């Protein structure tokens, strides 16, 4: 079953949006199979954002992610990678559609509340970076 990595960034945690974000993904029908609040090491933040290493915002981005706790999660379900990206909205909250998380709650690209994997292969890489397989509990509704 497809999995994606979702991180509620320090601004999302501090604005009290953790519950709202989880609610939106749950109500869509995806399964939360792993979650931890954590302070991120510089090494992990740099590895996670390695693809942006040469971008001008890389330094500020890493500093922000390690500045305060984040909530790291793995979600499972059919088509979850693309669907979660739609629920999250465009990277720049000013361009994100109303009804999306960033569209409803954000105005700054540097404080866009949440990260979601952009492709299935990226999700696999990010999940293995952030979680041990033993920290994940896959389940199916028995109701």
Residues tagged active-site: 115
Query: 61 or 123: whose CB is closer to ligand CMP?
Result: 61
Candidates 20-28, 76-84, 108-116, 135-143: pick the segment binding ligand CMP (CB under 6 A).
108-116
Binder to ligand CMP among 71, 115, 123, 126 (CB under 6 A)?
A: 115
91 belongs to the binding site for ligand CMP (CB under 6 A): yes
Q: Within a 10 A sphere around the Cβ of 84, how many other Cβ atoms?
A: 23
Binder to ligand CMP among 22, 82, 90, 109 (CB under 6 A)?
A: 109
Give the shortest CB-55-to-ligand CMP separation in angstroms: 7
Tokens read off for 36: 């931890």
Euclidean distance between CA atoms 82 and 42, whole angstroms: 28
Q: Is residue 111 part of an annotated ligand binding site?
A: no
3-state secondary structure of 49: coil
Phi, psi of 53, deg, nearest 5? -55, -35
Residue tagged 């866009």 (tokens): 112
């Amino acid at each position: 079953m497809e999995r994606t990595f979702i991180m509620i960034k320090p601004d999302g945690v501090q604005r009290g949006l953790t519950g709202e974000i989880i609610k939106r993904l749950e109500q869509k029908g995806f399964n939360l199979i792993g979650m931890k609040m954590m302070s991120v090491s510089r090494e992990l933040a740099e590895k996670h954002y390695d693809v942006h290493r040469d971008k001008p915002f890389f330094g500020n981005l890493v500093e922000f992610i390690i500045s305060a706790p984040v909530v790291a999660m793995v979600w499972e379900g059919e088509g979850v990678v693309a669907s979660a990206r739609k629920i999250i909205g465009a990277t720049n909250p000013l361009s994100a559609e109303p009804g999306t998380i960033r569209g409803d709650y954000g105005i700054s690209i540097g404080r866009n509340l949440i990260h979601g994997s952009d492709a299935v292969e990226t999700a696999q890489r990010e999940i293995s970076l952030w979680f041990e397989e033993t920290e994940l509990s896959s389940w199916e509704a028995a109701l």
